[in-house]
Chains A and B, each alone.
Chain A
Amino acid sequence: MTINAAASQQKHPGGKPALELVCPAGTPAALRDAVDAGAHAVYCGFRDETNARNFPGLNFSRAELEDGIAYAHARGAKVLVAINTFAQAGREDLWQRAVDDAVAAGADALILADLGVLAYAAEAHPAQRLHLSVQASASTPEAINFLIERYGIKRVVLPRVLTLPEIADLNREIACETEVFVFGGLCVMAEGRCLLSSYATGKSPNMNGVCSPPSHVAYREEADGALVSRLGDFTINRFAPGEKAGYPTLCKGRFEVAGRPFYVFEEPTSLNAASLLRELVNAGVTALKIEGRQRSRAYVRKVVSDFRRAVDALGTGGEPAAAATDALSDLSEGSRQTEGVYRKTWR
């Protein structure tokens, strides 16, 4: 038995895990932390506009990606490379090169969103495993099966707007694996089709890989001690003295509609579906995605190891440790967590 196979066996006792844990790696150090903490797979991106977490100080050079893949593979973990923004007109070659380089580096899968980039990858690298990014906004069997037929995608990352019964239905009707978000930031809009951030800042998630970018955030303290958070030229929230203030992500802001100030789109909650793992397995889900390539190494270590314990408990027929759920509640962005739409609380 080779070292790799031994490591792999050690990581997945009894073979395939009940759920594959796909973890964020914003930096090479975070990649190593995530792998060490028990990630079955990590996802990362190049240090440019080809990925949807294009923040200063994050992401990978070509050489770093190769090193990261070697590190992960030696420990039985996979590396998925996210090239999940939409290629900019006139600069398409940057996206094509990202595809070529990720394939050359030995990526286990590419996570793509742009139909043009998908078509390129499928044609230029027919043997490469492709995943459909959540940014592609494919939410029906018709759309997903079409993309499977046309580009050979093997897995689809589902929008964070589907309920558990909808996910179960979908899995019965599609011919590929599904991956769902279980922890971290929660997009309330159809992913990949939201221009709110660029409307306020000029910087686009789809084209520049940034949503509500820090470069356009400002805080202002008012005479009464209230803290106002702004994005571009717009006030996103106002916190009374003593109220816990949050980052001005546009869709988590407080606005006024019909004279009433409230969280019009979504409260500043973050997603935690740790209590739903059994139901996600039953719904036919293959992989769990943890959001947060922009988060700290300590965060990654904590979340990954807690979720790994929960997933292992599932695999041995036990219940996912309730302890994981409790410990994780300290880590979310706002003070509150939600199981998202999975429980159908929105409808």
Chain B
Amino acid sequence: MPARKRMRIASGPVLFNWAPEQWRDFHFRLADVEDVDIVHVGEVVCAKRHPFFEPYMAEVIERLFASGKQVVLSALALAMNRNERSLIDSITAMAGEASASEETADEGGEGEGALIIEANDLTALARLAGRRFVIGPFVNTYNALTVKELAHLGAVRICLPPELGRQALSALVPAMTDIGVEAEVFAFGRMPLALSARCYHARSHGLPKDGCRYVCGEDPDGLPLKTLDEEPFLAVNGIQTLSYACLNLLGEIPLLKDMGVSVLRLSPHATCDMAEVAAIFRAVADENMAVAEGLARLEALKLPFPFANGYFHGQPGAAWLKPDPA
């Protein structure tokens, strides 16, 4: 068996409507975090937020490149109107340089100084077909037929949907290795569960979507939704619905590694020291830290939401099966 490549750690795109300076500074800090190899930048949820981040985009990307990160520009997950479509157009238009300047998808230091685009819907996929790109978790990649097709279109890495469990991953990830597409798994953060044409943040505030006053900015980790029994259940983030619980596949890293997963995605949260989270995931992935110790350190971060890993174990996604200390 060939020596396995080192698992890489990715920061997903910021899913929330943070203050633009907070957004910029978060990425600046990531540039200095050695444990993060890949950084996703770009507005995925709501095209109306993009103009606020846009002025800082070039600066952020340059800084990340300068520190040797692979930078992935993430495209919008749901498009219908012209504004949304033209945002996807402008993001995917940047892929031209990427395919020209990036020759090899090789170990560790892949793609230094090159920008690669992440398609998160079929609009972006249509724009990117024939070039070199990555697929985000908002595109339905459930099986080897789809992986083969996406690879044929130019996908070099695919972040799989969070609902895929161990059984599916055990079949799919090795197939991806055979096809020559890297497997990325969503490993930490509130799970993206649904997208809608309707904005639930606006609706929760009694505002129309077109006059939303950007109220999603008040909830940098999402707006908690409880059942009528007061049980926390989901989190609202504009047109997106997330899990209330925070996905945590730290304990599953040894299994993911065995399957051949290349990249672990950590989804940024405001109330969470992402550098510390990355350090813990990195240490466990490198087998420099036991799972039990990593878990204790994650718990010590006192996150404002519980952990979940149910999907991986074929359970409801909200379930938490505490990893076996052995």
Contacts and interface: CB of A to CB of B under 8 A. Distances in A.
A256 B163 contact: no
Contacts of B127: 142
A214 interface: no
Interface in B299-323: 310-311, 314-319
A206 B145 contact: no
Interface in A192-211: 192-196, 198-202, 204, 206-207
Contacts of A159: 197
Contact of A90 (B88, B171, B318): B171
B310 A202 contact: yes
Contacts of A137: 78, 121-122, 140
B227 A92 contact: no
Contacts of B55: none
B197 A237 contact: no
B140 A161 contact: no
A73 interface: no
Contacts of A236: 227
Interface stretch (A113-121, A278-286, A314-322): A113-121
Contacts of A234: 227, 231, 233, 318
Contacts of A258: 204, 223
B contact face: mostly helix, strand, loop, or mixed: mixed
B142 A114 contact: yes
B81 to A, nearest CB: 7
B171 A199 contact: no
A116 B225 contact: no
Size class of the contact patch on chain B? 35 or more
A74 interface: no
Contacts of B198: 161, 188, 265-266, 341, 346
B161 A162 contact: no
Contact of A193 (B144, B164, B194, B227): B194
Interface string A91-133: 1100110000000000000000111111110000000000000
Contacts of A188: 196, 198
Contacts of A147: 122, 126
Given A190-B195, A258-B204, A142 B143 contact: no
A202 B315 contact: yes
B19 interface: no
Contact of B145 (A119, A204, A347): A119
Interface string A203-233: 0101100000000000000000000100011
B169 A89 contact: yes
Interface string B132-151: 00000010101111111110
Contact of A114 (B140, B234, B317): B140
Nearest to B129: A146
B159 to A, nearest CB: 14
A201 B228 contact: no
B143 A87 contact: yes
A138 interface: yes
Contacts of B88: 142
Contacts of B152: 119
B142 A206 contact: yes
Interface string B2-22: 000000000000000000000
Given A142-B123, A188-B198, A256-B226, A89 B144 contact: yes
B191 interface: yes
Contact of A198 (B168, B200, B317): B317
B126 A142 contact: yes
Given A166-B80, A193-B195, 4 more contacts: A89-B175, A115-B150, A146-B125, A237-B228
Q: Which 10 A-B pairs have the closest CB atoms?
A: A116-B145, A90-B171, A146-B126, A116-B146, A161-B197, A143-B122, A89-B172, A199-B317, A86-B142, A89-B171
